[in-house]
Amino acid sequence: MASNTAAAAAHVVSKAATSTTAAARSATTFTAGPAAFQPRQSFNVSLDITRSYYLGHHHAALSRMRQTLSNVGLIIECRDFRVPISSWNPLLERSLAAGSSSGDRPRIIVYTKRDLVQLNSGSSDREAVKLLRDFHEKNGHAKAVVFLGHGSGSRDRDRDEQRSLYSGSNGDRMLLDAIKRVARDADSLTGLRSMVVGMPNAGKSTLLNRLRATGMGLPQAARTGAQPGVTRKLGTPVRIVPGESAESGVEGMGEGVFVIDTPGVFVPYVSQAEDMMKLALVGCVKDGLVPSVAVADYLLYHLNLVDPGLYTGANNSSKKFCPEPTNDVHHFLKGVAMRTGKLGKGGVPSLEAAADWVVQEWRRGELGRFALETVTLETLAGAVAASREQPLSMNQARKKEKEVRKVRNEAKRMGLTPPAAGGGAGTTGGTA
Ligand SMILES: Nc1nc2c(ncn2[C@@H]2O[C@H](COP(=O)(O)OP(=O)(O)O)[C@@H](O)[C@H]2O)c(=O)[nH]1
Ligand SMILES: [Mg+2]
pLDDT digits (tens, 9 = 90+) for 27-46: 445 555 557 899 999 999 98
Single out the residue of 318, 309, 297 nearest to residue 366, CA to CA: 318
Say whether pLDDT at 25 is over 50: no
183 alpha carbon, distance to own chain's centre: 28
Task: Please name which ligand lies nearest the alpha carbon of 61.
Answer: 2
Domain of residue 110, CATH code: 3.40.50.300
Confidence of residue 418 (pLDDT cuts 50, 70, 90): low
Residue 37 lies in a domain: no
How many Cα atoms occupy the beta-carbon half-sphere of 232 within 13 Å? 3
pLDDT in the model for residue 119: 54
The percentage of the chain sitting over the pLDDT mark of 90, rounded to a whole number, equals: 38
- Name the residue with the closest Cα to ligand 1, atom 7: 203
- Name the residue with the closest Cα to ligand 1, atom 14: 203
Residue 356 lies in a domain: no
Residue 42 lies in a domain: no
Tell me which residue range forms the domain holding 121. Answer: 57-266
Residue 241 lies in a domain: yes
Mean pLDDT score, 197-225:
88
| Structure-model confidence comparison of residues 168 and 398, the more confident one | 398
If one counts the domains in the chain, the total is 1
Residue 235 lies in a domain: yes
Residue 361 lies in a domain: no
Contact status, residue 202 vs residue 80, Cβ threshold 8 Å: yes
Report residue 221: phi and psi, to 5°.
-115, -20
| Structure-model confidence comparison of residues 35 and 62, the more confident one | 62
Helix residue ranges per DSSP H, 167-243: 168-186, 204-216
pLDDT in the model for residue 331: 96
Residue 291 lies in a domain: no
Residue 329 lies in a domain: no
Report how far residue 31's alpha carbon sits from residue 5's, in angstroms, rounded to the nearest whole number. 11
**Ligand 1, residues at Cβ distance < 6 Å:** 112-113, 115-116, 148-150, 200-206, 224-226, 228, 230-231, 264
Say whether pLDDT at 390 is over 90: no
**Which tens digit of pLDDT belongs to each residue from 346-368?**
889 999 999 999 999 999 999 99
- Measured in Å, residue 93 CA sits from the centre of ligand 2 at 18
